[in-house]
Amino acid sequence: MTAARTATARALPPVLLLVVLLATWQTVVVVGQIPAFLLPSPSAIGSELVALWPTISSAILVTGGNSLLGLLLGALIGVVVAVVAGLLPSADRMLQPFVAGLAVVPIVALAPVLYTMYGAASEVARVIVAAIAAFVPVFVTTTRGLRQVRPVHRDLMRAYGATPRQATVTVTVPTALPFVFTGLRLASSLAVISAIVAEYFGGPRTGIGSFITTAAAGSNYARAWAFVVGGILVGLAFYGVTLAAEHLVRRRSGPRAG
């Protein structure tokens, strides 16, 4: 019962804030008679959300699937490459400029090129864009975490005659876990955002981004905002799952992972 009360106490303030913001939004739009093309009312958006939920839920699955594949691929490569960079200083020096350049690659320029390479009917381009977006924060935070191991711990492992691989698995990776999950939390949101933005520039007209552009082009702004809400739901779901996984791993790993 205590745990339930604690969860309720934590959830209540943001819920109340959301209610206040929506009520204020609705009041401002109605009283100020703001045109829909400037700012639709929450009630209009909610009506579109309910009416189009089957379509929105289908688009959520498409965008969510691409984002998930991209997140898993980018995070896996980010962790592996970070571990290699931690073991080989020369590799670290070579990778840092590459990652810095990758971090500033504009999606608006990359997505059309990938559609040309893999075909406008393929989802591969969106997965690659999401993977690139996820790779950078995971690599950066994991690399930082791998450098947090105290020299005395490394010396102790050498004194025990541990191999570099054993030292990495036993000491380095557990120490870096909090940093890895920090990168994953950042990457989970970036993967969704990148997948949605990539949908603006081509590919199958099945994802959230595609429906947003279609609705906006038809001047149906409340409908466009309803699909934006769908995108927000995907992002929140990814963030929540990542956060839950972090808590689970920390609880099982004990103080070292925390």
Which parts of 46-194 are beta strand (E)? none
**8 A C-beta contact, residue 14 and residue 199:** no
Helix (H, G, I), strand (E, B) or coil at 24: helix
What the chain holds in terms of domains, given with CATH numbers, is: 52-251 (1.10.3720.10)
- The 10 Å CB-count burial string (b at 16+, else e) for 45-69 is bbebbeebeeebebbbebbbebbbb
* Furthest C-alpha separation in the chain: 75
Measured between alpha carbons, how far is 214 from 199 in angstroms, rounded to an integer? 11
Which pLDDT score, from 0 to 100, does residue 100 have?
82
Which pLDDT score, from 0 to 100, does residue 246 have?
82
Which pLDDT score, from 0 to 100, does residue 150 have?
64
* Range scoring the smallest mean pLDDT among 85-89, 120-124, 150-154, 164-168: 150-154
More confident residue, 135 or 246: 135
Q: Decide if pLDDT at 1 tops 60.
A: no
Helix (H, G, I), strand (E, B) or coil at 195: helix
Going by C-alpha positions, the residue among 95, 101, 70 that lies closest to residue 81 is 95
- What residues contact residue 89 under an 8 Å CB cut-off, 6+ apart? none
The Cβ-side half-sphere exposure at 231, using a 13 Å CA radius, reads 22
Q: How many helices (H) and strands (E) does the chain have?
A: 11, 0
Q: Decide if pLDDT at 139 tops 70.
A: yes
